[in-house]
Amino acid sequence: MIDCKSSKKKILVLTPIYIGEGIPKTFTPVVHYFAREWIKNGHDVRVIHNSAFYPRFFYFIAFFFSGIIASVTGTNVPTRRLSRFKYYVIDKVAVYRMPMFKIAPHLKFSQKRINKQTENIFNIINREGFEPDLIIGHWSNPQLELIYKLKNRIASCKTCLVMHDNGNTISRLYKKNYRKLIDSIDVWGYRSAPIKRSFEANFGKRNSSFMCFSGIPKNFTEHSNNKTFGDELKKFIFVGTLIRRKFPTKLIEAIDAVYEKKDFYINYVGEGNELKKMKALICKKELSHCVKLNGYLPRNKVQQLMIDSECFVMISKGEAYGLVYLEAMAAGCIVIASRNEGFDGVINHGENGFLCESGNEIELACIIRLINNLSSEEKKVISRNAFNTAKKLSDKNVAEDYLEFLSNEIK
């Protein structure tokens, strides 16, 4: 086995989403977390941020309707037109933001744009004398096509593409040559077990693949998990964007059905287009004393709220992974996540948490009753199992496992 700490790599990362100035805070930082840890381990990492930008009228619409669009589609909408090249360093990671124009979201980039981007990337790494050992892409559009073209020019490098969806985008965008593009990738990564199952059902099992889970900061599990439980769960928490696909109102409906005496408390952390509907439901059910809408809170305050809670619930749909579940497990919460979504496979139902059909408040109520029927000690066992799962999935551990797998596959 190759020790990825001693075998230093030159890694070129391609991604359409990355943190930086002008990037909405709602955009996931997951790729940066990997790159940051690889830098800490002594690897040479360069990030190409293939950010998309659109015609100006798109941003006019987005400015006024971004909340509605996000709530309906589940997609974060950029409200600033970032159309200029930018080089910056963050946490010692060198980032090249190289914007790419296209007519509208979810469409394919033009071949002219792909060719130009390939040339620009090659010129940057050639100018700096940076010949990558690995080219790693996250999300397929436009990374799959860019990786294919770059590999034709840097024959010695190996390639990896991590899927954040089931791959339907690939067959939709690359109708004529998607098989050729797929076969050019050396290693495939999947953000969740459902994504892997769906991708392999569509395109067949790949020769080399791995699960690309995210991790949490090590300090999240440095406390001792001494959470105790009574006969029934009383303190619940939801952390996430308040949009339709995350079903924030379903938690209120389910818990209200379980607790006739209204002797429960729910903390909501987040903002979004469903807030108005939630306020109306809370008023209708006369639950203002039972539900607190905190809005956005900094990460340290969210962590403390989780430590003070007993059960974290978010039964969302279309979740590629869901780092917030892991943070809740690190706080010792009994977590209820969605079945056949991003965290299915990390959570084993009844062992370190529970799984529910997305948006199904009736099943959610049944699961809460099931947990309430467990003894206090049985609840503590699930809490401890959740904590131990989170402890294994630290930022450092998952980044090392990620690179170690690739190193062993391409030796």
Domains, the chain, with CATH or none = 10-215+394-410 (3.40.50.2000), 219-392 (3.40.50.2000)
Do 312 and 238 form a contact (C-beta atoms < 8 A)? yes
* DSSP strand pairing (235-239 vs 265-269): parallel
Give the span between the Cα atoms of 104 and 58, in whole angstroms: 8
Give the span between the Cα atoms of 9 and 156, in whole angstroms: 13
pTM (2 decimals)? 0.85
Torsion on CA atoms 212, 213, 216, 218, rounded to nearest 10? -70
Does 4 score more than 50 pLDDT?
A: no
Chain-centroid distance, C-alpha 310 = 23
Give the span between the Cα atoms of 171 and 69, in whole angstroms: 25
Chain-centroid distance, C-alpha 304 = 22
Q: Is 161 helix (H, G, I), strand (E, B) or coil?
A: strand
Give the span between the Cα atoms of 193 and 406, in whole angstroms: 19
DSSP state of 347: B
Alpha helices in 259-360 (DSSP H): 275-284, 299-307, 323-330
Does 166 score more than 50 pLDDT?
A: yes
Higher-confidence position of 382 and 61: 382
Give the span between the Cα atoms of 84 and 324, in whole angstroms: 32
CB atoms within 10 A of CB 405: 20
Does 68 score more than 90 pLDDT?
A: no
Give the span between the Cα atoms of 378 and 384, in whole angstroms: 10
Q: Considering the chain, what is the average pLDDT of its residues?
A: 91
101 strand-pairing partners? 53
Chain-centroid distance, C-alpha 374 = 31
User: What pLDDT was estimated at residue 322?
Assistant: 86
Residue 298: exposure state from Cβ atoms within 10 A (0-12, 13-18, ≥19)? exposed
Does 123 score more than 60 pLDDT?
A: yes
Residue 92: exposure state from Cβ atoms within 10 A (0-12, 13-18, ≥19)? exposed
- What is the share, in percent, of the chain residues with pLDDT greater than 90? 78
Chain-centroid distance, C-alpha 336 = 17
Could you read off the pLDDT of 219-262 as tens digits, one per residue? 898 887 889 999 999 999 999 989 999 999 999 999 999 999 99
Nearest of 31, 33, 26 to residue 48 by alpha carbon: 31
